[in-house]
Structure 1
Amino acid sequence: MGLFDTVTDVLEGSTQRAPGTAGDDGSEGSYWCDDCGVRVRDVEVDAEGFDRDGDGTPTCPDCGESMRFERASGPGCAC
């Protein structure tokens, strides 16, 4: 059973994230501009100085259109 336990331990460890890896900052996704391809993570919108529309949705700095929010699909960053 030693080999089986070792393989199990390795597989379990590969699904866990170490502290300080991407995604530990509370990000739940990114805002995208479908026209320009501009992308900004939700936790960086204010720091980047993006304007917001009347609903609070960030607007694209290049074209001024409202950006679309897309949730992160995995445990990692919203890339």
Structure 2
Amino acid sequence: MEFVSNLRETLKASTESANRGGGTGDNSKGAYWCHDCAERIRDVDVEGENSPDCPDCGAAMEFERSPSSTGCAC
């Protein structure tokens, strides 16, 4: 029974996390992606308001928001 109790506590703790969705508390709203190269640059690492160019291929990167607090990006 201890296994079931431990499992239940683990699942309960994972759903109570205040920081779900991968955020690190630094006000990041998402990241810029190059889908061709799979390159990712977090928005807090980009200076200015323009989309950066991919460091690998030079194409304009696309902004995508972070998943919501439920872990879903829908």
Q: Distance in 1 between matches of 2:14 and 2:67?
A: 20
Amino acid at match of 1:29: G
Alpha carbon RMSD of aligned pairs, Å? Answer: 3.1
TM-score (norm 2): 0.59
1:13–1:37 CA distance, 2 compared to 1 (3 A):
closer
Q: Normalising by the residue count of structure 1, what TM-score does the alignment of the two structures yield? A: 0.55
Superposed CA deviations along residues 9-64 of structure 1, whole A, max 9, x for unmatched, are xx58943427xx84310100011001111001100123xxxxx8xx8111101111
Q: Which runs of 5+ in 1 are unaligned?
A: 1-10, 47-51
AA paired with 2:46? V
Alignment coverage as a number of residue pairs: 59
Q: Does 1:74 align with 2:68?
A: yes
Ranges in structure 2 where 5+ consecutive residues have no aligned partner: 1-11
Report the alpha carbon displacement of residue 75 of structure 1 after superposing the two structures with TM.
Answer: 3.0
Cα distance in 2 between the residues matched to 1:72 and 1:24: 12
Which consecutive aligned stretches of 4+ in structure 1 deviate over 4 angstroms post-superposition? Answer: 11-14
Distance 1:64 1:25 in 2: 27
Residue identity over aligned pairs, in percent, reads 40
Going from structure 1 to structure 2, the CA distance change for 1:66 and 1:16 (only over 3 Å counts) comes to: same
